[in-house]
Chains A and B, each alone.
Chain A
Amino acid sequence: MSFINYSSREINCKIVYYGPGLCGKTTNLQYIYGKTAPDAKGKMISLATETERTLFFDFLPLALGKIRGFRTRFHLYTVPGQVFYDASRKLILKGVDGVVFVADSQIERMEANLESLDNLKVNLHEQGYDLDKVPYVMQYNKRDLPNAAPLEEMQKLLNPSGMTDFEACATTGTGVFETLKAVAKGVLTDLKKMGK
């Protein structure tokens, strides 16, 4: 959960990018890293295999500016998407403040999307969270591919409750910052509600 440090006047929040293997979670972070001014970001850490598949997590610390004199810092994490890394995914969800689900738009990945989304719900539940209550954004990635499923179909399948969603192409950056802003807003709005 968020950490408010009065001494350094900072709010620290944790956002996790979730989704099936090869859906583009790491690519989202790499794009954000590449486009952020050096003074607003820390080092990006990727704990990956030799073939650059995420083994444990990617981590990117970002500073977004000040609110009421408090610097807002977001720690972005990705989980390893491959099914057999479930134990690691659970660990990374600990203390999460906001979740981005990155769905792979390719028709043949729909089942993997559904499986990963179910896995997210189960793992959040194990930590005492409910996906309907955690700030949450859906991103339909790889919209540029010729085998992308129709948007309406993906919405019906993966986002029936109509949470905030974005179309994206993480390699070119389309929709990447929109997704990040939406989830960060959700987290801060939640923080505001908690203070009331």
Chain B
Amino acid sequence: MDTQLIMYDEDLKKILAVIQKLVRDANAKGIFLVDKNGQMIAEAGEMEGIDTTSLASLTAGNIAATGGLAKIIGEDEFPTHFHQGQRDNLHISIVAQRMILVVIFDDRSSLGLVRLRVKKAGAELGRLIEEMQKKSDHAASGDGSPFAEITDDDIDNLFE
């Protein structure tokens, strides 16, 4: 069973620093970090106006489906995926077991370059995500959640 995930400002800043560097190093158009449940964690690059909520949900669905396929043939999961389009391509990789790194790139870059840069950035992101998960577990185990203080009235007011 997954545990709750909490992301603080400082977590996001560290993650953004890594993926913004990856955009430059890999000559990517856009990079998205999505969790396996379909939540968008962070994004960088020039893909403005893209429907990120749908992107996150479909990416998670895709990884879930191919993960299911992997198990059928005796693999644990497929850690990297590549989708080739007419103009834009997608490189998708699993980071720290619970996150998905999506890199969108065109012919200004190449699959080889993206693979190489993702490998290094993925390891860094993995460390940051583990750190974030540890903090989340700590908060969930008792102290620090902002929602301990919400009242039934707060919840009711949401629906009025």
Contacts and interface: CB of A to CB of B under 8 A. Distances in A.
What interface size band does chain B fall in?
35 or more
Contacts of B5: 1-4
B150 A42 contact: no
A87 B66 CA distance: 11
Contact of A4 (B2, B4, B35, B149): B4
Interface on chain A toward B: helix, strand, loop, or mixed SS? mixed
A92 B57 CA distance: 11
Interface in B58-72: 58, 61, 64-65, 67-68
Contacts of A42: 51, 53-54
A7 B42 CA distance: 10
Contacts, number: 130
Contacts of A31: none
What interface size band does chain A fall in?
35 or more
A195 B147 contact: yes
Given A3-B41, A7-B12, A94-B37, 15 more contacts: A3-B4, A3-B35, A4-B146, A5-B7, A5-B12, A7-B8, A14-B37, A47-B61, A66-B158, A87-B68, A94-B2, A95-B2, A185-B156, A188-B147, A195-B148
Q: Which 6 A-B pairs have the closest CB atoms?
A: A195-B145, A128-B1, A95-B37, A195-B148, A91-B64, A195-B147
Interface of A: 1-7, 11-12, 14, 42-43, 45, 47, 56-57, 59, 61, 64-68, 70, 72, 75, 87-88, 90-92, 94-95, 127-129, 181, 184-185, 188-189, 191-192, 194-196
